[in-house]
Structure 1
Amino acid sequence: MHLADRFGLPVLTFVDTPGAYPGKGAEERGQAEAIARCVEVQLGLRVPVIAVVIGEGGSGGAVAFASANRVLMLEHAIYSVISPEGCASILWKDAERMREAAEALRLTAQDLAALGVIDRIVKEPLGGAHRDRTATVSAVGDALRAELAALKDRPGDALREERRRKFLEMGTRGLAA
């Protein structure tokens, strides 16, 4: 990311992770610090940053790589700070309540667009992205080209400030039930 910034190249991230391992050992090895550093670096870049959630965007690792000027998401992907199973285990001490947790997390592309967490939903072929990979890649490419065109002439300081503001305001819109 630092090299991209130095040479004026946009940063594109593709998010597909169930999330970081939540055990004590991972924390002892600095997992939280690594996630925080990734967020810090991305928020400080002076080039366009675009993230695409292409599958499962779960946990802090997904949030770190999606600290972007624009967040795109495949139509049937999910994105959340925690998995539904993890959420249910913490809230109700019952991972079987994962469907209830998934509903509360509002992790679908449609929910996240309404909440202002993501900026664009990328339509998938009938049956899902895996049914026609070529069409999916083409749709993602078209969306990336459009977003890059919209950001390419923006000054670096404006890109950085917009990204920081977007990150800090995440979760403040549309939460009244």
Structure 2
Amino acid sequence: MLLDFEQPIAALEGKLQEMKKLADESQVDVSEAVKALEEKIKNLKKETYANLTRWQRVQLSRHADRPYTLDYIQGMAEKFIELHGDRNVADDKAMVGGFGELDGRTVMFIGQQKGRNTKQRQMRNFGMANPEGYRKALRLMRMAEKFGKPIVTLIDTPGAFPGLEAEERGQGEAIARNLKEMFTLKVPVICIVIGEGASGGALGIAIGDRVFMLENTWYSVISPESCSSILWRSWNYKEQAAEALKLTAPDMLKYKLVDGIIKEPLGGAHTNPEKMVKTLKKKILETLDELEAMDADERISQRIDKFSNMGVVNELSGGIENNYTII
């Protein structure tokens, strides 16, 4: 899958392959030309990916070859036992979770899972969880708390499933309950946006001591396409919507809505999944060391304060409006 802004890079890489093939066939020494072209490609990549628009980062976050939740879990964890069902309605395949080992340390992994092909996407409902998915996630969080094991959530969803049946089964209540319960979990909670972080569907598993975003991901109350369709009655303005939403990792860090950005390999996580998995694992282990050194009550207090201090408050005093930006 090649994105529009990657076309110039692909063209140069095609020329490089032709040059190498010609050298092999004709036995002509073109090593200097090859080296120069490789340097040109490297510089073009650096320039391209350092100056991506917000919409282009959204496109990268949706790349078909990008690692999904189970790819990260299976790459990081020496052992992983997936747990199923919410003990109430069903087992939601869009939400996965279970215990895994990170360098001998047991961790509860939870996250949305998308599919690679049509059949898998149907089974996983395109990573859009139903209420039973969020109730399963909460059940697994409580289990982790019971056994004193830290929780790592991996967020990658275009949103919670908006179907009528999901609303009938209490979609809003399930997400709201997760938000409430996650604030007071006694174990360390790390949340990482690995792809798309859309609306309450993402937030339902994103209340943690530390919230990180991968470099080419987005996190917002609405997708650029949906925003465009509401404001302009058309999806044709999705680029403008993405700019207005300020939904990228640097934007979220600037507004102190996340705690850090995890760098991706040049070109995106899909270009070198093994390196991305190692980077993510290292960050998780470092953060767990930091959080586990803290007292549980102190962690909970800091968690609540962090989210309570987000946003803007307007107060009316004597008929005069005072605007406070809380940082």
- Give me the TM-score of the superposition, normalised by structure 1: 0.90
Higher relative contact order (CA 8 A, sep 6+): 1
Q: Secondary structure at the match of 2:212?
A: strand
Give the CA deviation at 1:90. 2.7
Give the CA deviation at 1:69. 0.8
Q: Does 1:162 align with 2:296?
A: no
Candidates 270, 274, 289, aligned match of 1:130 = 270
Candidates 189, 205, 209, aligned match of 1:69 = 209
Q: Secondary structure at the match of 2:197?
A: strand
Give the CA deviation at 1:24. 4.0
Shift of the 144–56 alpha-carbon distance from structure 1 to 2, 3 Å rule, reads same
Shift of the 168–22 alpha-carbon distance from structure 1 to 2, 3 Å rule, reads farther
Q: Does 1:19 align with 2:159?
A: yes
Candidates 44, 56, 70, aligned match of 2:196 = 56
Distance 1:92 1:158 in 2: 46
Candidates 168, 171, 189, aligned match of 1:31 = 171
8 Å Cα contact 1:39/1:64 also seen in 2: yes
Give the CA deviation at 1:94. 3.0
Give the CA deviation at 1:164. 1.6
Which has the higher Rg, Structure 1 or Structure 2? 2
CA RMSD of aligned residues (A): 1.8
Candidates 225, 234, 254, aligned match of 1:85 = 225
Give the CA deviation at 1:96. 2.3
Give the CA deviation at 1:95. 2.9
Q: Secondary structure at the match of 1:73?
A: strand
CA deviation vs aligned residue, 1:18-55 (integer Å, no higher than 9, x gap)? 11233444322211111111111211101111001101
CA deviation vs aligned residue, 1:83-141 (integer Å, no higher than 9, x gap)? 11222223343332222221121111111111111111111111100111110001111
Paired residues, number: 174
Q: Does 1:148 align with 2:288?
A: yes
- Percent of aligned pairs with the same residue? 49
Q: Does 1:40 align with 2:180?
A: yes
8 Å Cα contact 1:63/1:81 also seen in 2: no
Distance 2:179 2:247 in 1: 20
Matched letter for residue 154 of structure 1: M
Give structure 1 regions of 4+ aligned residues with deviation exceeding 6 angstroms: none
Q: 1:120: which partner in 2?
A: 260
Give the CA deviation at 1:146. 1.4
Q: Secondary structure at the match of 1:65?
A: coil
Candidates 142, 159, 163, aligned match of 1:2 = 142
Q: Secondary structure at the match of 2:172?
A: helix
Distance 2:241 2:184 in 1: 33
Shift of the 4–105 alpha-carbon distance from structure 1 to 2, 3 Å rule, reads same
Distance 1:21 1:171 in 2: 26
CA deviation vs aligned residue, 1:47-83 (integer Å, no higher than 9, x gap)? 1110011011111021121111101111001111211
Segments of structure 1 that go 5 or more residues without pairing to the other structure are none
8 Å Cα contact 1:62/1:81 also seen in 2: no
Matched letter for residue 259 of structure 2: D
